[in-house]
Structure 1
């Protein structure tokens, strides 16, 4: 058990809001490192809290530019939710991870804001990395 009984029950209640199944994918090229092993343990634990709605898979990295391991969330339609977790989302990041799982299970629709039109006006390569930390 990674969480205490009260915390675990709270996470189960949050995960009960999953509207469709999701797949948590661990991307790594080094499965026996402490980071990858910790990520696998945390993902397996999370899957055990909602086994009918959450599953996991392992994948060779391809996410090497992000970090090893990297976690992604895919909905039932195969769409990868736009958030990548580099390393193990433990501690304060675990709540954000749980929220991302729930959000990714919802139907994904593009907003009515004309972002596509605005993005087409960009005529040079753009690379954005956004890092968020709760501390």
Structure 2
């Protein structure tokens, strides 16, 4: 049974019509003991079927452990969004459902259409960045503000090879929620020590990025 009704399929198909370069979705899963792996696979399959330029590749976390390690993927379900074979460090951990379905589509459009809307000051900071920064945006599918935070983090990753950005569905990975003291969502953790609460404006996030860069 399809997760999307006909109207939703048509809307997604129209959105994906703006994709101009091939996008590859690398889905990491396994057959046993993986909450939401089956549902995440179905979402990825249904979305990729709506565009000739979106390809889905499915990997088993254990059988394809070398590939997973090379992409720093250590939990499932996981989706890495590539432009062809180019990795921008854009990741989804957990099911991209509910409001996060929007984030998933926006990541495909970002990589497949290449349109980044970031302020000049942000781009200058990214250009000068020496050390890598890892962003984890903790979300839940029922959070209407979370996609804004996820999309901004993914834009930063797309714009800079020094940035990697993960959407993390916190209820699927409670140990990470505990580790990073996630009491509400969205919560963006930069590195291990710097964090920001809520879907903040770009300039406020930039200040946090600068603080994290000074610590690294």
Give the TM bin, normalised by the shorter chain: 0.7 to 0.9
Q: C-alpha separation between the residues in 2 aligned to 1:95 and 1:108?
A: 16
Q: C-alpha separation between the residues in 2 aligned to 1:107 and 1:101?
A: 10
For 2:103, the equivalent position in structure 1 comes to 96
- 1:126 Cα deviation from its structure 2 partner: 6.0
Which consecutive segments of 4 or more residues in structure 1 shift more than 6 A?
none
- The two structures have a TM-score, normalised by structure 1, of 0.76
- 1:54 Cα deviation from its structure 2 partner: 0.9
Q: Deviations over 1:44-64 (max 9, x none)?
A: 1111111x1111112334311
Equivalent residues in 2 for 1:4-19, closer than 5 Å: 4-19=5-20
- The two structures have a TM-score, normalised by structure 2, of 0.50
Cα distance 1:128–1:24, how it changes in 2: closer, same or farther (>3 A)?
closer
Contact 2:21/2:53 (CA < 8 Å) preserved in 1?
Answer: yes
For 2:3, the equivalent position in structure 1 comes to 2
Cα distance 1:79–1:108, how it changes in 2: closer, same or farther (>3 A)?
farther
Q: C-alpha separation between the residues in 1 aligned to 2:125 and 2:103?
A: 28
Are 2:129 and 1:113 aligned?
no
Bigger shift: residues 54-63 or 36-45:
54-63
For 2:136, the equivalent position in structure 1 comes to 129
Q: C-alpha separation between the residues in 1 aligned to 2:107 and 2:114?
A: 13
* Superposition RMSD in Å: 2.7
Contact 2:18/2:113 (CA < 8 Å) preserved in 1?
Answer: no
Cα distance 1:126–1:54, how it changes in 2: closer, same or farther (>3 A)?
closer
- 1:6 Cα deviation from its structure 2 partner: 1.4
For 1:75, the equivalent position in structure 2 comes to 83
By relative contact order (CA 8 Å, sep 6+), the higher-ranking structure is 1
Equivalent residue pairs, number: 126
Greater strand percent: which structure?
Answer: 2
For 1:56, the equivalent position in structure 2 comes to 56
Q: Deviations over 1:29-87 (max 9, x none)?
A: x333342211111111111111x1111112334311xx3111111102x2223321111
Cα distance 1:58–1:127, how it changes in 2: closer, same or farther (>3 A)?
same
SS at 2:124 equivalent: coil
Greater helix percent: which structure?
Answer: 2
Cα distance 1:126–1:58, how it changes in 2: closer, same or farther (>3 A)?
same
